[in-house]
A and B are shown apart, each in its own frame.
Chain A
Amino acid sequence: MENPKTVKILKFHPEKCDGDLVCEKACSKVHFKSDEGGDKSAIRILKDGKSYKMLVCDHRGLCIDICPVGAIKRRDNGIVWLDKDICIGCQACVGFCPIGAMRKSDARIEPFKCISCGACVRACPYGALELVEVKIDQIKQIVYHKLGAMQ
């Protein structure tokens, strides 16, 4: 199977955002069947001076190689996916995510993250969010391995 070449990631237009956090509520609906938003949302909109900023996974995939049980993989459509049935809740990916986009809610031990489902995009009444397709090679953050060193 060919490795995926592109992935859809979220793009934020802060000038269109008015801080209603409808997106967060839509997101927590997806992950926790709850409209609380906040800690239960994979996307966070935070006040940034007079404007807003978005905190969400950009699918760079650094967490893939951290997972001890192989619960995190890049799927065929390019998104970085955490399989919570395999996950053993160690939080290594949460601690190691450089942008804090692997999220943990008090509601359950397994972390969760943005899956580029678009629920937040559809929920935003102002069009402040969109899903854009990017080349994985451009966003991917990698570490280098050395295998079978003595060969």
Chain B
Amino acid sequence: MIEGQFSIEKYQTGNTKHKWDLKKLKLAHRIVFEYNYKRGKVQRGFTNRTLYINLTTKEIKEKNVTEEMKEKFTGGRGFGLKLLWDSIKPTTRWNSDENELVITTGPLCGTTQYPGSGKSLCLTVSPSTDIICDSNVGGFFGPYLKFAGFDALEIQGKAKHDVVIVIDGEKGKVLIETAPLEETNTHHLNEQLTRMYASEDTDSSRQKVSVVTSGKGAEHSYWGCLNFSFYDIRRKVPRVKQAGRGGLGTVLRDKKIKAIVTKVEKFDGISNNPADPITLAKIGTKLHREIIDLDRYQCNMRTVGTAHLVEIMDQYDLLPTENYRFGSFPKASKIYSTEFYKHFTKIIPDGCWHGCTMACSKTVDGFTIMTGPYKSQKVTVDGPEYETIACGANMSIWDPLWILEFNFYCDTYGLDTISTGTAIAFLMEMYEYGILNKERCDNIELCFGNSEAVLELLHRIAGGVDSEFIKIASKGIRRIKNWLIENGWGDPQLIEDCGMESKGLEYSEYVTKESLAMQGGYGLTLKGPQHDEAWLIFMDMVNNAIPTFKDKAEALHYFPMWRTWFGLNGLCKLPWNDIEPANNAETDEPTKVPEHIQNYVEYQKAMTGWNVTKEDLILQSERCYNWQRAMNVWMGRGRRKDDWIPYRSMGPVTEMEYLSRKDRYDKYILEKIGLSEKEIQKMNVNEKMKLLYNYRQDQYQKLADAVYFRRGWTPNGVPTPQKMKQLGMNDTKMLKFLQDEIDKDEKASLNVWGGKYSKGEKPPSINPKYWEKW
């Protein structure tokens, strides 16, 4: 421990120092094409321009942002959807030439007064799901992109050789340069480029550069993530945040982009030019005060970041363990946040954008790498966050140091820790059952708890695909399932039930077996099973606050819409409900945190000058949410069959799982399914499991019925033209397309409810074409 209050120059991390020959690296660059632009002023949160780059045709242009575009798509993720709609085809796949990588900002992005206001939203057609995947990420890139002059960046086509895209907000220049000599892996590449493009050799100058990178792992897998940098003037390293889900890094590398660099000359607290900076500063300061007063009693984000969730999830049987078979484990206390607290560098500002006093971005500095190409070097590890630690639990790794090692290599190789961890956990379970073995896994002993094997797998993926196993394994659970089934290894039903993916994307790290609403929160989603749409487990399972299908459907309407709103504006969700006002519990709807919602109403008003209410915020989201679903339908997904979830997320797949929570499941059969104690006693485990299986599958379909109805969709999950019109989304091409699809569903008899309704039970509507009357 050392005392604070000394100059930032004196901070030391103990990391290995590198001396790069930056001149040599830079001399090897060749400008492929370039573009000059006049940097405008940001007006009320918008630059009113987006930047389009085509790497195939070597074209760069600016596109105007119209008032209509703002009205319909708000900004951020909404703009991303609009730009993709204008550019891709329904047949576009992740590696199609016309696929785009879009990075957007949002009107509130870049604000420094309100915590959590530096998010970029990244969109592309995902290799995992074949539909649009959106990912919300911190770091300085988004704000700098805006201050450099653009609300969004749109990259189409592919380069011939590895390139770096430079958006120089200082000179008003966009450059596409070859970059043959730089490293590909993030922690080195980032440092090289940050130093290379900083205007001066000072920390404050380096802080005005942000770099987007991925890594070698992204080149060979579908788990590629984007690392967004934010230079830390105290630690003196470019730190990174990840746009993890859906293989965005895979698309980046497929386009032969090594990195995207943006830099700004200067910016201040009102670079967004808000309509009402005074109100903005007031609500921001109020939240800063709340955080300093209450965070330590609530989430303790400032001290341990999201790692505080590990112990809570373990205690509520929600921490995914051994591929989600269990929700808690005797060894779990070894990876509680208290264990990581010992390693974290603390107290100094750890926001991923300036002014975020939630400061959840913790690091372990001076970490000695144990394996692989960087063995024995000392580095800063960003995180681990809750999800990454829970991946440890899922792979049965209970050693914080190995979790740090996993975290570090995933980041630098550009791999999403969630997809990677969840997929490896599945491989491990298959290994345990003998469906996989050492031979089939190309000599990697992938049994639960084998940390060295996990790291070996990562190094092999990053090293290039050298065997059939590596090739398949790195493409994710959906492809692994197909491969196992095609080879006739193991029971196909077991394989389908155990592998935690939906729509082709791996699950994030929560056990949802006992929360039907949360099963919907993972399954009835746009991009796939990620908890960013709704997190309803406590509301549903612990507090039993949403008991009926109607209640659950309302929650699965409201919360996904509300949470979508953060992405439209360039915000982080955490300062909404990971800090709550002291009197929140006494309000009408504590789960919504009404005072903070009011903050956001004032915030958007103060930035844009729009006269909005809290209902308007939901409307903004509903437009984009429905639009994205409609685009899923347009791309051939987005139906009830695509909202399928594996049974492992609904209940016990194996006898061991049932027996490990026997009392709970017996009680469930007694109380919910309505069998008598005598009847239950007569049944063997398999019979009980089958009963539970059928019952819970039906519950999920009934939930889908209720949710589709609430959202204004057909019983097959298609947004109706009537609903779209109601929301003001009048694109005639889209409306006609939707009507045609609904007609096709009608012919195929798919416009029917999915649940089995017995006497006394009613589906959401008995009118077959209920939506036509809206």
Stretch at the interface among B362-370, B495-503, B667-675, B722-730: B362-370
A104, chain B: closest CB distance, angstroms: 6
Q: Can you name 6 A-B pairs with beta carbons within 8 Å?
A: A66-B357, A96-B357, A104-B285, A142-B5, A146-B2, A150-B378
Interface residue B513 (Cβ < 8 Å from any Cβ of A): no
Residues of chain A lying within 8 A (CB to CB) of residue B112: 88-91
Residues of B within 8 A of A (CB): 1-8, 11-15, 112-113, 204, 207, 233-234, 267-270, 277-278, 281, 284-289, 291-292, 342-349, 351, 354-355, 357, 364-368, 378
Asked if A149 meets B3 with Cβ closer than 8 Å, knowing A86-B204, A88-B268, the reply is no
Which of chain A's residues 80-100 have a Cβ closer than 8 Å to chain B? 86-92, 94-96
B285, A70: Cβ atoms closer than 8 Å: no
B11/A69 in contact, CB under 8 A: no
Q: Which residues of B have CB within 8 Å of A109? A: 113, 268-270, 277, 281
Would you give the shortest CB distance from A90 to chain B, in whole angstroms? 3
A37–B27 Cα distance when bound, in Å, is: 57
CB neighbours (8 Å) of B365 from chain A are 147-150
* Minimum Cβ distance to chain B for residue A38 (Å): 15
B366 touches A90 (CB 8 A): no
Main secondary structure of the interface of A (DSSP, over half): loop
Given contacts A69-B207, A87-B269, A90-B112, contact A145 B281 (CB under 8 A): no
Contact digits for A117-151, partner B, Cβ 8 Å, 1 yes 0 no = 00000000000000000000000101111111111
Total interface residues on A, CB under 8 Å, equals 36
Nearest B residue to A149 via CB reads B343
Q: Which of A86, A142, A149 contacts B342 (CB 8 A)?
A: A149
Complex CA gap A61/B287 in Å reads 21
The complex places the Cα of A51 from the Cα of B742 at a distance, in Å, of 77
A90-B112, A144-B347 known, 5 other contacts, Cβ within 8 Å: A65-B4, A65-B5, A91-B281, A96-B289, A144-B1
Let me know if B204 and A90 touch, CB within 8 A.
no
Known: A70-B233, A89-B269, A145-B346. A150 touches B4 (CB 8 A): no
Do the beta carbons of A69 and B5 come within 8 Å of each other? no
Known contacts being A90-B112, A95-B287, is A147 close to B11, with CB within 8 Å? yes
CB distance from A19 to the nearest CB of B (A): 27
On whether the beta carbons of A145 and B269 are closer than 8 Å, the reply is: no
Is the pair B4, A89 in contact by a Cβ cutoff of 8 Å? no
A58 CB within 8 Å of chain B? no
Q: A61 CA to B5 CA in the complex, in Å?
A: 7
**What 1/0 flags go to A67-79 for Cβ under 8 Å of B?**
1111001100000
Main secondary structure of the interface of B (DSSP, over half): loop
| Residue in chain B with minimal CB distance to A102 | B285
Question: Which of B204, B267, B289, B291 is the one whose CB lies under 8 Å from A70?
Answer: B204
Docked CA distance A65–B234 (Å): 10
B15 CB contacts on chain A under 8 angstroms: 148
Instruction: Please indicate the chain A residues that have their CB under 8 angstroms from the CB of B13 in the complex.
Output: 147-148
* Contact B5–A68 (Cβ < 8 Å): no
Cβ–Cβ contact A89 & B204, under 8 A:
no
How long is the Cα–Cα vector from A67 to B349 in the complex, in angstroms? 7
The answer, yes or no, to whether A110 is at the interface (CB within 8 Å) is yes
Bound together, the chains give a CA A86 to CA B286 distance in angstroms of: 23
Give CA–CA (A92, B357) in the complex, Å. 7
Contact check, A95 vs B357: say whether CB atoms are below 8 A apart: yes
Q: Is there a chain B Cβ closer than 8 Å to A30's Cβ?
A: no
Instruction: Check A64 for interface membership: any CB of B closer than 8 A.
Output: yes
Encode contact with B along A99-115: 1 for CB under 8 Å, 0 otherwise. 00000101001100000
Q: B366: which of A73, A95, A96, A151 is its contact (CB, 8 Å)?
A: A151
Provide the bound-state CA to CA distance between A129 and B671, in Å.
74
* Nearest B-chain residue to A106, judged by Cβ: B278
Q: Which residues of B contact A145 (CB under 8 A)?
A: 1-4, 345-348
Contacting pair B344 A146 (CB below 8 A): yes
Please name the residue on chain A nearest to B271 by beta carbon: A88
B595 to chain A minimum Cβ distance, whole angstroms, is 16
